[in-house]
Every structure is written in C-alpha cells, then in structure tokens.
Structure 1
Amino acid sequence: MALAAALAATPARALMLSEVPPPAIDGAKLVPVAFGAMDGWAADDHASAFRTFLNSCAARRTPPAEVGPASVPTLVAGLAHACAAAAALGTQAPSRQVARLFFEANFRPYRVVPDKGGEGFFTGYYEPEVAGALAPGNGFDVPVYGRPADLLMSGGGPTPNSGGALRRDGDALVPYFDRAAIEDGALAGRGLEVAWLKDPIDLFFMQIQGSARIRLPDGRVLRLNYDGYNGHPYLPVGRLLIARGLVPREEMSMDRIRAFMEADPEAGRALRRENPSYVFFKTLDLGAEAGAMGAEGVPLTAGRSIAVDRKLYTYGAPVFVAADLPLSAPGSREPFRRLMIAQDTGSAIVGPARADLYFGTGPEAGAVAGRIRHSGAFTLLVPRFAPAETPGRSR
C-alpha cells in the first residue's frame, strides 16, 4: 500500500484532492471493471505505455509547435494530476511492475459500451513512405498540395478539420473544390505544391493516413503531416467495392483496394473521385526516427498511440484495447491486449468505442494496419483524482 500511495503522490502545493467522476460520453454507457478482470492487463508492457503517456504529459506543459484539432477538455484536471504523479516517480523508465502499479493507483477502468450494443470497433493506420521529389519532372507529376490560403472552414476561419469548407466566389461563399475539381487542376499554378509523387494511388493512401515520409532522389526524407481538408465528407472507397460485389467483405483491406486500382487505372481513378474529400499537407521538422505527428502535437508511438473521436475524448487519456487481430497474416486472429494513449484523431474516427491503432511506418506496418477492421473491448482509464477547488479560487 505504501508503494501505491507513492505512485499516486500529491504535488506539494495540491493539498486537497477530489475524486474524478467518470465522464458522460454520448452514445455509450461506462461500466466499471476491475483491473484484475481485464483480459491481458497484467501481461502487458506497462512501461512502454508509461513512456508514451509521458509524451502526452509533455504536450500539456508546452503548447506544441504543430497543433491539430482540439479534443474535449473533460478529464484534463485529472490527467494533469496523473502527470504530476508520473513526474514524482523521478524516472522516465520505471520497471514494468512499477508502471503497472502507477496506472492502477492513478486510474480507474471503465468499459465503454455503445448504446446500440456490441463492442468497440478498431481499425489500423500507419505512416506511408513513398518516392517523391521537390520539383516536377522525371515521372514525378502528381502534386501534393499544401493548404490553400482561400480555404475557409464553415465557422469562418482557417482552422483545419472543423467542419465544412468554403471559398469566396465574388461576393458569395461557395463549397470548396472537391477531389475531382482539384485533380482536374483547380489549384494548379498557385505555388501550393509541397512535393511531387509518381503515383496518384500513393497520394490517395497518404490522404487516408494523414501523414507520409517522402523519400527524395538524394536520399533525404521529407516529413509531411495533415494540414486540413476541403470540407467534403469522407466516403470509404472500400465500402463501395464491397457494395458492388468487387471485393468480399471478409477480404477487404487496403492491399485489396490498391490491387483494384493498379489492375484497372481508369476504374481506380473513377473510384477515388467518388470520395470528394481531399487532404492538404504541411512539412514538419521531424527527425527520421520520430513517429508521425499526432493531433495532440506529439510524435506517435507504434503500437501505443491511438486516434479517437476528438469530440468525445481527451488527448492523453489511456485506453486498454482487447481484441483478436490479424497481425501476422490475413485471416489470422491473434490476441492484442495493449494499453494505448489517445494522441490523434481522424475524420473517419467517429463514435464512443471507436479507435484507430497506429502501427508505425512503411509497407509492413501498412500491411498490418490495412487488415484491421475488428471488434473488441474498449476500456477507458479515468483519472482517480484531481486537485480540489478551494474557496475563492476561480477557474
């Protein structure tokens, strides 16, 4: 018990603590569970999750240079207290046992159960690495566009990913160009290109993933990250292939989508244009070893970072994922029991028990991520305590 108390240590100036109630999450109820009843909890590498959690704590202390869509403020005070308790440990590399005890001392687990029934739903994502150039020529003729200055979100400002997007046409505001219009040259000649690719399929998958490493001809790596979209709704092309009987539902993956597009380029182009959403990119000053940048403003950790619905969850929140996934090969089902940290979001990640699991960089990570469309248990770890409000202190 003494160790548990130390792991939940109260900072010197925070003399009073209050218990943090579980948040109200639209579309779901939260069911309390015991850590000991969570399949795979004790066997996980909690030290790895702890290091990822510290990255989120750092983002709370210093506003990140790369800011993505904001998450809801629920649980912020409790997470701040948990971060203070993590700092009080005095090490960024505790043992697995100490890290597990830290999470158990500072959080309470709640299974998120959708009102519509069933379990959580998980997909996977990754950071593509593709060949590209900084100027057109030598086969590099597919432009990667940065966010246009005339892109206005429906709220009237340029904030990325905050609703529909508009542009001025004379005195009127009209919807921003859709994918087909942009591919047909609506943005050409405006100096918006941040890179050039050889393959439009590569660009399409970059836009789905929201980031990329561009391998330049001289060997350098250009890091690109999401910087807004054109405001049109995202239409999953895999759903269209299933509905038309072109790919069986049980075989759907990103590899199957790519294979369809490569086998019939014209049909692939037409399929891509049925998804009117179009993503813009910006360059990042990231080292080659850092993960893709998440919306929280920290590099993602393969196997430990997830994307969640930013309207329902707070960045930095730990989530225990328990699912059986095809990790080694299509059709396999292997146990995935992992404590992960909410550090990102995505336009297709919507709902109370929905998460996108980040698997890393390159084709191997992409192959695994592209196979994940599976249900499982989504358990949110809610902070136990937060500094209590004192009389006369304002928020």
Structure 2
Amino acid sequence: MRLSLGREDFSTLPGWAEDRPAAAFAAFRRSAAHATTIRSYRTGSLGLSHAEFQPAYAAALAQSTSESGYLPDAEARSFFETWFRPVAVTPLDDDGLVTGYYEPEVAVSSTPESGYRFPFLRKPENLIKVPDPENPPAGIPAGHAFMLAGADSTDCCPDRQAIESGAFDGKGLEIAWASSRVDVFFAHIQGCARLCFADGRIERITYAAKSGHPFTGIGGLLVKRGEISADTVSMSSIRKWLADHPEQSEKLMWENRSFIFFEKAAVENDFLGPVAAAKVPLEPGRSLAVDRHIHTFGTPIFVSAPELEDFDEPRPFARLMIAQDTGTAIVGPARGDLFAGCGSEAGEKAGSIKASARFVILAPVGSEIARRAGHEQ
C-alpha cells in the first residue's frame, strides 16, 4: 500500500463548512455504541486503533441528542472538530474513486408461483469459511473465502451458473422467489434487499456468505466488448443492456461466478439501511463501504468528489461519511462505496455514482496518524 498522509485543517477544508453532518454524527454514535459495548473493531493497516477512538466514542455516547439520536448540524460539526484532526489519504499509484450502492426493494412470492421462479437462497449448512484463504485446504483455490465441508473432505462451492441451474435444488434453501433474475442478480451486487410480498409484508435479507468464486463486474465486461462506452456505464445502462438482450443476459450474468447467500433480518427502522459489516444499521447518505483491510470501521471520512452532485443539494459532493461497510470490489485507501438509501429513488442515485474522489480521514486527537501528518507536535 503506497500512500501519503497530509495535514488538513477544518478551517480550510473545501466543503467542510457547507456540509450538514448531523446524520454523520448519528451514524458515528451507533458505531461507538457497538465498539464500546459489544465488540471493538479490528484495526486496519492505517493503524487507527480502538484505544485511539475511545475518547471520541465516550464523548459521542455522553452527548445529549434528540430522541432520534440526531444533533443540530452546528453541534455535530463542533463535535468532530473537537475530537478529530483531518488527514488527507492520497494513494500514490492511482486516483481515489467513489461509486454508490443501495438497498433494493423486490416484489416476491413465498412460493414458486407462476411468474415467480428466481429464488433468493440462504446459506447451506455445510458452507464454511476457509480458515486461511491464502493457504487453503487441498482442492480449494487460493483466495476462496468459503468452501463446502464434507464428512471427510472439503470441496469448492458451485459457482453462479451451477447454483442457478439447480445445484442446491431440494435443499430447502429458498427464502422467497422473485419474478426477475436481473432483480436477484442486482440484489447480489448490493448484498441486501427488502422483499415485498403481495400481502403487504416486508422482510429484509442481508449478506450471509458467498460461493467463494471471484467477483467479476459485468459492466467492465460490457465496456471491454464495446457494448457500453466507459463514459456511460452505470447500473442503469447495464440494466438496460440486460433488458435489451434477454437471450444473452443470463450467460453474461453467469460470467460473474460469485454468488451471494442471504439471511433474514428485521426491518426495525424504515429509514435506516441493513445492518452491514460494521454491525450497525447503515445511515443513508452517510455510511461508506471501505477496504476493511486498510480502514478501521467507525472512522469518519470526509469525501469530496467535485464531478459528483451532492445527494440533497445542488452543489459538488463534499460530505462526512462513516466507514461502516465493505465490499469485494472496494480495494485501496481512497476507494469507497456511498450508501444512498433504500428503494428505487436511492437506486437511481446509486446507479449514477462513479467519480474521482479525495479522502480525508478524521483521525482521533492524539492518534499516531494525526501526529505523523503534522498535528499536535
């Protein structure tokens, strides 16, 4: 990992004064509660540790908020300015990049009725994590994070094509059935969905495990093959291509051999997203998926992307996000996925996000990273 750390100051950080960080504080406070009372987050390679976050965690949890957990924006901004120091994280080998994701809503049936024949599957009981993906058991390719455990041996999990062709039929793994294979595929890409039943019932499914096979972005394949231009590739343009090429769409989706298994989860708050990798509900417009090997969950990160419009206001995107999720394609110190929210409107936002970005982490006061960047010498 080649990067540089540079001192920034809140008074001159572009976009900081215009941001409205009340929701970012609420998201940070949830991570503080989890890390303090349930389990601390693993330290990423940048080195921000639980011990360094503890004073800010304690201050956040002691802060008096409204019943919803939100502070006025001015108080939220003051909190972050008091307990953190901004440090620019600049990769030396490539540029920063942000994309977007969301929680889809999918119409489903609890039985495979006419028109509903594409299932969401729960994790097979014998699908287990590979203890050390870099040194896997015999017969498991290096890098596979999951495998099937037998009585006397282990084996690779079937890939997407094999599973969708019936590899787990008869195992009782089906959670619900959708009417569109494409809807199921994009729920796999997002790692979550809200399932909407005809009787008005809504259930949430979230990531439980994956097949272990490598992820392949079909958008990249379409660009490489000249089907979509690099300038216009997006979730919307990929969906349109799949709809316009029904005879080729299944084969293309099968080229992404990775397959996601789900588990049911409660919908306790209609506004918040699913509980993700950091074990707290995602805050629309404020939760960020990062490379968890580099960043410590709970880290506030100020993301600026001049070519991207803000979610809520007609100005360039520059807002405080909280690292609370991760993803297979999120690799590098300045690579992030912005959680846009739930439903079709959020999907429209998320599908159009792909922009160069600059990452400024907020390092806790007194942390080693803050000192290395020139703060508090």
Q: Does TM, scored on the shorter chain, surpass 0.5?
A: yes
In the superposition, relative to structure 1, how do residues 85 and 163 fare at CA in structure 2: closer, same or farther (>3 Å)? farther
CA shift for structure 1 position 70: 5.8
- Residue in structure 2 matched with residue 38 of structure 1 by the alignment: 13
Match of 2:111 among 132, 135, 146: 135
Q: Normalising by structure 2, what TM-score?
A: 0.87
Alpha-carbon offset, residue 334 of structure 1: 4.7
1:324–1:82 Cα change, 3 Å: same
- Aligned residue for 2:166, secondary structure, equals coil
Given candidates 64, 84, 89, the residue that maps to 2:63 is 89
Q: How does 1:243-282 map to 2 (within 5 A)?
A: 243-282=224-263
What's the offset of the Cα at 1:138?
A: 2.8
Cα offset, 1:326, TM superposition: 4.6
Q: Does 1:147 align with 2:123?
A: yes
Aligned to 1:103: 80
Q: How many Å separate the matches in 2 of 1:266 and 1:164? A: 32
Post-superposition Cα deviations, 1:330-375, rounded to whole Å, max 9, x if no partner, equal xxx9501100101111111111111100000111111111111111
Q: Which runs of 5+ in 2 are unaligned?
A: 134-142, 368-377
Q: Secondary structure at the match of 1:204?
A: helix
Distance 2:204 2:18 in 1: 35
- Partner in structure 1 of residue 347 of structure 2: 366
Q: CA deviation at 1:325?
A: 4.5
- The aligned counterpart of 2:359 is 378
1:236 & 1:193 partners in 2: Cα distance? 25
Residue type matched to 1:192 in 2? Answer: L
2:250 aligned partner, one-letter code: R
2:38 corresponds to: 63
Q: Report deviation, 1:90.
A: 3.0
Q: Which runs of structure 2 are paired with 1:89-238 in the superposition (5 Å)? A: 89-91=63-65, 92-118=69-95, 120-155=96-131, 163-168=144-149, 171-238=152-219
Structure 1 residue 28, shift from structure 2 partner = 1.7
SS at match of 2:355: strand
Q: Do 2:101 and 2:190's aligned partners in 1 also have CA atoms closer than 8 Å?
A: yes
* Cα distance change of structure 1 residues 265 and 117 upon mapping to structure 2, 3 Å threshold: closer
- Cα deviation per residue 1:98-124 (whole Å; 9 max; x = unaligned)? 221211111111111102143x21000
Equivalent residue for 2:273, pick from 280, 287, 291: 291
Does residue 357 (structure 1) correspond to residue 333 (structure 2)? The answer is no
Given residue 85 of structure 1, which amino acid in structure 2 is its aligned partner?
A: A
Decide whether the 8 Å contact of 2:277 with 2:326 is kept in 1: yes
Match of 1:252, SS? coil
Unaligned runs of at least 5 residues, structure 1: 1-25, 387-395
Measured in 1, the distance between the counterparts of 2:366 and 2:209 equals 36
- Counterpart for residue 54 of structure 2: 80
Alpha carbons 1:325, 1:334 under 8 Å: kept:
no
Q: CA separation in 2, counterparts of 1:259 and 1:127? A: 19
In structure 2, what is the equivalent of residue 322 of structure 1? 304
How far apart, CA to CA, are the structure 2 residues paired with 1:169 and 1:53? 42
- Identical counterparts, % of pairs: 41
**Structure 1 stretches of 4+ moved >4 Å:** 168-171, 325-329
